[in-house]
Chain A
Amino acid sequence: AQKITQTQPGMFVQEKEAVTLDCTYDTSDPSYGLFWYKQPSSGEMIFLIYQGSYDQQNATEGRYSLNFQKARKSANLVISASQLGDSAMYFCAMREGLGGSYIPTFGRGTSLIVHP
């Protein structure tokens, strides 16, 4: 079974608008961490945001926020006020804790294109 599912192969958004990228995960481990990375065409994976399974509040980093719904096993990335430079691939990843290997598992990614 897929541990990380990103159902949107591609998303389009108008500059300055907000966009939500979906991510669902599958784990029975009570301790886990969720990550979002951005991969521009240059290839480098850039860390955006992290959410721990025990964190009570949704994580935020500047224009990025993580909509964490634990019961639904959902960890959607919200980008506010999109910029042209946000056009890239976005990957959701999960690292399982106590029963896992601490090695992040990545989803297949979502391609985001920001239109002017």
Chain B
Amino acid sequence: DAGVTQSPTHLIKTRGQQVTLRCSPKSGHDTVSWYQQALGQGPQFIFQYYEEEERQRGNFPDRFSGHQYPNYSSELNVNALLLGDSALYLCASSLGTGASGANVLTFGAGSRLTVL
């Protein structure tokens, strides 16, 4: 049973460029959340997608956008990259958006973005 898969695993971009990160959720999950984890920090919530719509958003600028496809896979797009966008980007999937029971997030291994 495949867990959450993310691609690419590593990438290097320069300031001002645009990047697209991809995520396939765990089988049976329909909700995808994206987190940014800077070096030495805990994950920070970017946004959550459910039923192909952005349901919740954290404190991130509009340069960060996303998409969810009918097969539940998701993309994170970041425009006009800044040096401060260098981080590990984690995708997490779950079943539904609510807090039924533990409703544990299942994470992928992340995409490590370096902006030069």
Q: Which residues of A come within 8 Å of B, CB atoms?
A: 4, 31, 33, 35, 37, 42-47, 50, 52, 91, 93, 95, 97, 101-109
Decide if B109 is an interface residue (CB 8 Å cutoff).
yes
B86-116 residues with Cβ-Cβ distance < 8 A to A are 88, 90, 92, 97-99, 101-110, 112
Contact B99 A97 (CB under 8 A): yes
B90: chain A residues within 8 A (beta carbon):
43, 45
Whole-angstrom CA separation of A95 from B98 in the bound complex: 10
B104: chain A residues within 8 A (beta carbon):
35, 47, 50
Contact A43 B92 (CB under 8 A): no
Q: Secondary structure of the B side of the interface?
A: loop
Decide if B33 is an interface residue (CB 8 Å cutoff).
yes
A101: chain B residues within 8 A (beta carbon):
56
Whole-angstrom CA separation of A31 from B98 in the bound complex: 12
Give the residue name and chain of the A residue nearest to B3 (CB): A44
Give the residue name and chain of the B residue nearest to A37 (CB): B107
Contact B109 A43 (CB under 8 A): yes
